[in-house]
Amino acid sequence: MPDTHAKLFTPSGSHRWLECTASAKLNAELADTTSSFAEEGTAAHSLCEYKVLKAFHDMDIHIKDLPDEDPTKSPYYDAEMEECCTEYCNFVVDSFKHAKDPMIFIENRLDLDRWMPGGFGTADCIICSEGVMHIIDFKYGKGVEVDATENSQLMCYALGAIDALEFLYDEIRTIQLTIFQPRLHNISAWGLTYEDLMSWAETKLKPAVDAILSDNCTYKAGEHCRFCKAKTMCRARAEANLELARYDFRNPPELSDLEVEEVVKKASDLKDWLEGLQAYMEKKALEGYQWNEFKLVRGRSVRKIVKPDEVAKVFIEQGKDPWKPQELKTLTELEKLMGKKAFNEACGQYVMKPEGKPTLVPRSDKRDEISPSDLKSSAAEDFAAPVDDIEI
């Protein structure tokens, strides 16, 4: 049961399940997925932890041992990650230095069982000083700008931190929440009192947890659906998006200004929903499911040069410059420079046209249907919907 509850009550998903209590159990039952974005975020967090611990170690302040693995060996490590994590490290160090008689905790696991049975979370950074608790959360993602104001994830962390550290700082009266999101140049900060935090926990958090535990849940579609694993097949979200149908595709002059504004406002959500449905259908088709009105075909592919150095050598031998600044000219530009026929004769062996990515189309499409058994076993992964995780 604790494992089940831990999946139900994730601080990182609280933005969603506080609004749509039914989504808690749905998401707990669905298999976890990952994406390159999530893995990149995890790598960045590891580098942040290493840099902060190393910085304090150099100041003769031992927080905990340095990780055994070198985070710079990650395949996602690059100059941008190095710069962003250094900025975060400097921010944490400066925040610590400006606090009065502080204690700092890095990547600390917080028990949230008092508020959500079996729940826990890991805070990137907690700085406690006289009367003040500062929660700092690093976000490497750049898809969505995250706001610290009334941020439920950080408020959950604050509740766990108070329970864990109140014996050290029983006079904590102010909680400061900070989102540090360097790739969007976003440092968002918000403060609240101890009383405000406890009021939120009693009036907002506790009723939602009680509803989830008692199966007295409700569905609610909204902006929070973006981070729900069940968003594609959720009937409540479908009904919310299909509200657009009541406009019956009328021309703009037949709509009021308020109606036009409402349609445009919903357009991005509708587009996201439809793309999710299509990704779901394609994944099912790759697994062998036969749709009545749709089939899998090979999508369009683009020719590519596989041995640019050999192609460049051919052009240079003919006295032609194949280079743009820093890179080889495009295939089309090279054909124009040498002549298409001459290029094919001299460089055709260095050009390949990969198979098109499988795509789902109406059965009326003239392209030949392909069978999932003809595809590589990894092809299904091409259609795995990326995880848009606001917490990364």
What range does the domain containing 316 cover? 304-352
- 189-194: long-range contacts, CB 8 A cutoff, minimum separation 24: 189/148, 190/147, 190/148, 190/149, 190/150, 190/151, 192/155, 194/162
Residue 41: which of 70, 92, 80 has the closest Cα?
80
Q: 13 CB contacts (<8 Å, ≥6 apart)?
A: 24, 27, 227
pLDDT band at 61 (very low <50, low <70, confident <90, very high): very high
124 and 237 inside one domain: no
Residue 221, domain member (yes or no) = no
Residue 52, domain member (yes or no) = yes
Which range has highest mean pLDDT (126-140, 242-256, 283-297, 322-336)? 126-140
59 and 199 inside one domain: yes
- The arithmetic mean of pLDDT across residues 325-341, rounded, is 89
In total, how many domains does the chain have? 3
Return the sign of the alpha-carbon dihedral for residues 163, 169, 173, 179. negative
Residue 227: which of 64, 388, 48, 9 has the closest Cα?
388
**What is the average pLDDT score of the chain?**
84
For residue 227, the tally of other CB atoms under 10 A from its CB is 19
Residue 189, domain member (yes or no) = yes
CATH number at residue 65: 3.90.320
Collapsed DSSP state (helix, strand, coil) of residue 187: strand
322 and 264 inside one domain: no
Residue 260, domain member (yes or no) = yes
175 and 146 inside one domain: yes
Q: Is 42's pLDDT higher than 70?
A: yes
pLDDT of residue 279: 81
253 and 199 inside one domain: no
72 and 177 inside one domain: yes
pLDDT band at 31 (very low <50, low <70, confident <90, very high): confident
- Per the model's pLDDT, the better-predicted residue between 305 and 139 turns out to be 139
Q: Is 248's pLDDT higher than 90?
A: no
Q: Is 144's pLDDT higher than 90?
A: no
154 and 269 inside one domain: no
326 and 263 inside one domain: no
pLDDT of residue 3: 42
Q: What tens digit of pLDDT does each residue of 274-305 get?
A: 777 788 888 888 888 888 888 888 888 888 88
pLDDT of residue 139: 97
The enclosing H or E element of 250 equals none
133 and 42 inside one domain: yes
pLDDT band at 148 (very low <50, low <70, confident <90, very high): very high
pLDDT of residue 133: 95
For residue 162, the tally of other CB atoms under 10 A from its CB is 21
The enclosing H or E element of 109 equals strand 103-111
Which of 138-147, 330-339, 366-375 has the lowest average pLDDT?
Answer: 366-375
- The arithmetic mean of pLDDT across residues 300-327, rounded, is 88
- Per the model's pLDDT, the better-predicted residue between 193 and 240 turns out to be 193
